[in-house]
Amino acid sequence: MSATVAEAAQKTTTSARLFRDSKAAFPTGFRWGTATSSYQIEGAVNEDGRGPSIWDRFTHLPGKIIDHSTADVANDHYHRYKEDVQLIKELGAKAYRFSIAWPRVFPEGSGTPNAKGLDFYQRLLDELLANGIEPFATLYHWDLPQGIQDRYDGWRSRDTAKAFADYAGYVTERISDRVKHIFTINECARLVQAGFGTGIDAPGLNLPQKEINQVRHHVALGHGLAVQAIRAHGRSGTRVGPAENMEICIPAIETPANIRAAETATRELNAGYLTAILEGKYTDAFLAYAGANAPSFTPDDLKAIASPIDFVGINVYMPNQYVVAGENGNPFALLPFAATYPHMDSNWLRIGPEAMYWAPRHVARLWNVKSIYITENGTSAADQPSADGKVYDIERIMYLRNYLTQLQRATSEGVPVNGYFLWSLMDNFEWSDGYDKRFGLYHVNFETQQRTPKLSASFYREVIKQNAVV
């Protein structure tokens, strides 16, 4: 190579590095992690005293899961957790968001705790910390104990909110010496709508709107009571917040009027949960729209729901709405999605990287939230090993690069996002989709339990290493 060519190459490399450092770097100390949930990976549903969950029953009903599978074994993480912690370490990730199975700790949902169940998570925590990985624990990721469902009718009863708080306090007292960040409930929006509205998730109900709104209120109350229990039982420095798949409203064109409209739409379309948590009330517009279908509640309920939190977790996958300024006195107008709007391998997962910018920005601006985590982001892809045994999931890399670019846009403008958890560490049981959809950085052969890194694992490893979009 001539000196001139070498100099040009050096200049190009330096220029690229400077561009990356100035345009695409994340704040120093930004936490990079991955995420999973208990029911989707653990398996061992009948081992060491674990009780049944509503998902155990639901998956064994004919026709509920697309590929007719169950999570009885799933990723066998219960027996392979040490191997899986090494997968996180190989990525260079320093944080891991996982969930604790309520029926593993309390087989009947309340009453006598199961020591062997909690011991599994104690061993998992020890393994994570021994490998330099900070644990972030979610207390509820949809695996409600069947005993709670049978005794109280699940989230249709406020008794479930109280039982959840008792469980939250018990667990927090025993893990907060090593876990400093605790999420209460994962995705109220989906667990309510899919579990009690459309019925595609457990417990598989199709309730009228008034009952759906009441269920949502009980989940919100469960969050608030759990926050109080975590405060009462947690060690000093324990931080707590929700992890919600909020309705993400994006200005179709970034004009001041459309941005204001998108902010208003975000507040109102999240009024049943996130807005209530952060404002301590149901908005007038929400109650007026609900009318006779509004939930029953007390002032003390709202006070509990608004128990002070330390951060907000947001699960960001796609734009829920594109918004423009309204007319004739309407504060906003929602634009329809064309039938040809692009999506990823999952039909529901519409592509819209700017969701990753607007979601945390709206949360920070609307409610003055000072600490935000992206608790889930990722995509399904048609991942199958090539002839050489490798998985070249370039569509996932495309998705992640574009979404992370928008996240970096947010952090560069001072939006207080402190960390990002990619969904998911490895392919797993994807609820009603069974094993048909793959979201992982690691491909899993569910017959052999072989974990194989995909090309996206190399991409994410480089992102973490450089603390920048690559």
Q: How high is the pLDDT of residue 8?
A: 47
Give residues with Cβ within 8 angstroms of 273, minimum separation 6.
Answer: 188, 189, 216, 219, 220, 244
Measured CA to CA, the distance from residue 206 to residue 446 in angstroms comes to: 32
| Predicted structure pTM score | 0.95
In this structure, which CATH number among 3.40.50.150, 3.40.50.300, 3.20.20.80, 3.90.550.10 belongs to the domain 25-466?
3.20.20.80
Q: Phi/psi at 143 (nearest 5 deg)?
A: -90, 70
DSSP SS3 for 416 = coil
Cβ–Cβ under 8 Å, residues 454 and 363 = no
Q: How high is the pLDDT of residue 241?
A: 99
Q: How high is the pLDDT of residue 15?
A: 45
The first and second tokens of residue 432, run together, are 């009603």
Counting every residue written for the chain, the total comes to 470
Longest alpha-carbon distance in the chain: 79
Query: Would you list the domain boundaries of the chain?
Result: 25-466
Measured CA to CA, the distance from residue 386 to residue 357 in angstroms comes to: 34
DSSP SS3 for 375 = strand
How does pLDDT run along the chain (470 residues), one tens digit per residue?
A: 444 444 544 554 444 444 444 558 999 999 999 999 999 999 999 999 999 999 999 999 999 999 999 999 999 999 999 999 999 999 999 999 999 999 999 999 999 999 999 999 999 999 999 999 999 999 999 999 999 999 999 999 999 999 999 999 999 999 999 999 999 999 999 999 999 999 999 999 999 999 999 999 999 999 999 999 999 999 999 999 999 999 999 999 999 999 999 999 999 999 999 999 999 999 999 999 999 999 999 999 999 999 999 999 999 999 999 999 999 999 999 999 999 999 999 999 999 999 999 999 999 999 999 999 999 999 999 999 999 999 999 999 999 999 999 999 999 999 999 999 999 999 999 999 999 999 999 999 999 999 999 999 999 999 999 999 99
Q: How high is the pLDDT of residue 23?
A: 55
Binding site for substrate, by residue number, is 40, 141, 186, 317, 423, 430-431
Long-range contacts of 281-289 (CB under 8 A, 24+ apart): 281/306
Q: Where are the alpha helices (DSSP H) in 348-391?
A: 355-367
Q: Which residues carry out catalysis?
A: 187, 376
Report the sign of the C-alpha dihedral through residues 228, 230, 232, 237, in that order.
negative
Binding site, by residue number, is 40, 141, 186, 317, 423, 430-431
Give residues with Cβ within 8 angstroms of 445, minimum separation 6.
Answer: 452
Cβ–Cβ under 8 Å, residues 131 and 86 = yes
